[in-house]
């Protein structure tokens, strides 16, 4: 009886052997390599999901904050300044709207919440006055700028080549956010008239931003 042309004689994934016409061959791939590749992909997907989901939600929140500020202050002397920042936030959000499907990341389930909270925060601080609106801008943009900075450090440590596209996006947006923060300082965000509650306002807003980031990573 003729031997089969080939057959796998052992199926242990750690070291499969191939039997071909009377000879044994060890297959070249190892299960450890296979496993580590799979784990690496899982690890990368975890990093991408944490970063992109939070950033997408954050940019949507930022878009809503400026929408709220514009609803109150569009006819004030700060209207054009706020509008300029709002336009950039829309560009940021548009980019993450493209990146989420590209990297197969689901958006945060909390988007409706951040949608409302962002608008309320923007409009609420604007109703306190244009300086309070700028104080809000300082508080939010400082947190977002630091947040992008820590993500840049993480991706640079992980694999700069693998995350090249994302690094370029995050670096550009980080610079935009820090420019927004400087705009807040420039347009009286720290003005003496609001000094008594400036620190409280800033602390409360930043506490909320950190909480939102923490929650969005999970949901």
What letter does residue 11 receive in the DSSP assignment?
A: -
- CA–CA separation, 26 and 174 (whole Å): 51
Nearer to Fe ion, 130 or 147 (CB): 147
Contacts of 90 (CB under 8 A, 6+ apart): 63
Q: Is 177 annotated as ligand-binding?
A: yes
**Phi, psi of 25, rounded to the nearest 5 degrees:** -130, 135
Residues that bind Fe ion (CB under 5 A): 59, 62, 89, 92, 177, 180
Q: Nearer Cβ to Fe ion, position 59 or 188?
A: 59
3-state secondary structure of 139: helix
Residue ranges of alpha helices (H) inside the chain are 31-73, 79-102, 111-128, 130-158, 164-186, 195-218
Q: Taking the CB of residue 6, how many other CB atoms lie within 10 A of it?
A: 12
Name which of 62 and 212 has its Cβ closer to Fe ion.
62
Q: Which residue is nearest to Fe ion (CB)?
A: 92
165 labelled ligand-binding: no
Q: Is 158 annotated as a binding residue?
A: no
Q: Which is nearer to Fe ion, 44 or 182 (CB)?
A: 182
Please check whether residue 145 is in contact with residue 174, taking contact to mean a CB–CB distance below 8 angstroms.
Answer: yes
Closest approach, Cβ 211 to Fe ion, in A, equals 18
Q: How far is the CB of 110 from Fe ion (least distance, A)?
A: 18
| 89 in a known ligand binding site | yes
Please, what is the minimum distance in Å from the beta carbon of residue 141 to Fe ion? 5
Closest separation in Å from C-beta 178 to Fe ion: 9
CA distance 78 to 136: 14
> Is the CA virtual torsion 185, 121, 53, 214 positive or negative?
positive
CB 59, min distance to Fe ion, A: 5
Using the minimum distance from each CB to Fe ion, give the nearer residue, 10 or 95: 95
Q: Which residues are annotated as a binding site for Fe cation?
A: 59, 89, 92, 141, 177, 180
């Amino acid at each position: 009886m003729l031997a089969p042309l080939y057959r796998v004689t052992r199926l242990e994934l750690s070291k499969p052997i191939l039997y071909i016409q009377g000879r044994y061959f060890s297959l070249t791939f190892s299960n450890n390599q296979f496993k580590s590749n799979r784990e690496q992909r899982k690890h990368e997907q975890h990093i991408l999901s944490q970063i992109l989901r939070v950033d997408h939600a954050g940019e949507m929140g930022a878009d809503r904050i400026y929408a709220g500020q514009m609803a109150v202050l569009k006819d004030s002397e700060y209207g054009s300044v706020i509008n300029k920042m709002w336009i950039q936030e829309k560009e940021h959000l548009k980019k993450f709207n493209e990146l989420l499907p590209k990297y197969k990341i689901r958006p945060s389930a909390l988007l409706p919440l951040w949608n409302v909270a962002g608008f309320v925060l923007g409009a609420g601080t604007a109703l306190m006055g244009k300086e309070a609106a700028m104080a809000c801008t300082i508080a939010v943009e400082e947190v977002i700028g630091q947040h992008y900075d820590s993500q840049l450090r993480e991706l640079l440590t992980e694999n700069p080549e693998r995350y090249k596209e994302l690094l370029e996006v995050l670096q550009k947006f980080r610079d935009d956010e820090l420019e927004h923060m400087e705009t807040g300082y420039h347009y009286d965000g720290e003005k003496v008239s609001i000094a008594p509650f400036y620190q409280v306002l800033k602390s409360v807003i930043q506490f909320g931003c950190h909480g939102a980031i923490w929650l969005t990573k999970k949901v």
